[in-house]
Chain A
C-alpha cells in the first residue's frame, strides 16, 4: 500500500478517503491533477466571468468597481 500523496491532503484541506489513499502513487497523482485542473478551470472561468460582468459597468468607474470586487 502506497503512502498518501501530500499534495492530495493539501489540495483537499483534509486527509483523502481511505479508498483514494489506497490507490497507487501514479493514480493518486492523477487525482491530484484532476483537482488541480478543476481549481485552475474555476479560477479561469471566474476571471472571465468578472471581466464579462465589468463590461456592463460604465468605464469611468470600472477600475474602482474592479478594485472593490477583486482587491
Chain B
C-alpha cells in the first residue's frame, strides 16, 4: 500500500471515529477513491444534522460578538460550536475567533471540517493559527492539523511551522490533505528543525513519513536535507542508511537524501 493510501486510511479512520487498523479491508482501494469517500461522508454527516446548526447560527446573528464569545465558550460544547462556525458569516466568525481562548478554539478546530469553512480559516490571524496548532499538536491531532494546512494563509502556516518540533512536522506532513504544501513548509524550516526531522525518523520509526517529505521537496530543499544528513551524527546517518537498505526508504528517497 502506498504512503498516500496509508495516510488516507488514517484520515478516514479519524472521520468515522475508529482505529486505522480497523480499516485493513480497505487497503486495496486507491488513495484517490478513499479521499473521495471521505469527502462524501463529510458532506453526508454535515447534511444529516444541518438544521440544528442553522438555527443556532441564525440566533447568533443578533447577539453582539463580545457577548456571543463569552456565551459560546461558557455554554456551547465544541462540537456544536464547530458546526455552527461553518455556517456563520465570515466576519462574524473571525470576530468570535479573536475573542475566545486558544484551548477552546483547538477543541472546536478538532471537530471542524476545514474544507467546509476555508473562508473563515483564511481570515484567522497568524498568531491565533499558531496557538491553535500548538494546542492540537499537544493532543496529537495530526489529521486535524493536516486538514487545516490546506486552508491557512502562508503567514498562518509560517507562524505554525515555527512552533512544531521535527517529529511533529513529520507526522503532520504525512497526513496533509494538500501535499503541495510540503514544499512550502520545507522552505520555512530552520536547520534545527531539519536536524530534528532526521533524528525523529530514526527514533520513532517514521520512515514512511520521511519518504513522503523527501518525495515532495523541491530540488533545492532536497539538497538541503541531504546536506543536513551528511553533517548529522553517525547514529542518525546510520539509521537512515539502514532504513534505505531494508527498503523502508525507496531508491528514489535514498537518492534525494544523498545516499546514492
Contact = CB atoms under 8 A, between A and B. Distances in A.
Given A12-B41, A12-B44, A70-B52, A38 B16 contact: yes
Interface bracket on A: 20 to 34
Interface string A21-42: 0010001001100110111011
B60 to A, nearest CB: 12
A8 to B, nearest CB: 9
Interface bracket on B: 35 or more
Contacts of B16: 34-35, 37-38
A50 B33 contact: no
A13 B33 contact: no
Interface in B27-60: 28-30, 32-34, 36-37, 40-41, 43-45, 47-49, 51-52, 55-56, 59
Contacts of A42: 45, 48-49
Contacts of A35: 16, 41, 44
23 contacts: A14-B40, A17-B32, A17-B40, A23-B25, A23-B29, A34-B16, A34-B23, A35-B41, A37-B16, A37-B17, A46-B52, A46-B79, A46-B83, A50-B52, A50-B80, A53-B75, A53-B77, A56-B75, A69-B55, A69-B59, A70-B52, A71-B51, A71-B55
Interface of B: 15-18, 23, 25-26, 28-30, 32-34, 36-37, 40-41, 43-45, 47-49, 51-52, 55-56, 59, 74-77, 79-80, 83
Interface of A: 11-14, 16-20, 23, 27, 30-31, 34-35, 37-39, 41-43, 45-46, 48-50, 52-53, 56-57, 68-71
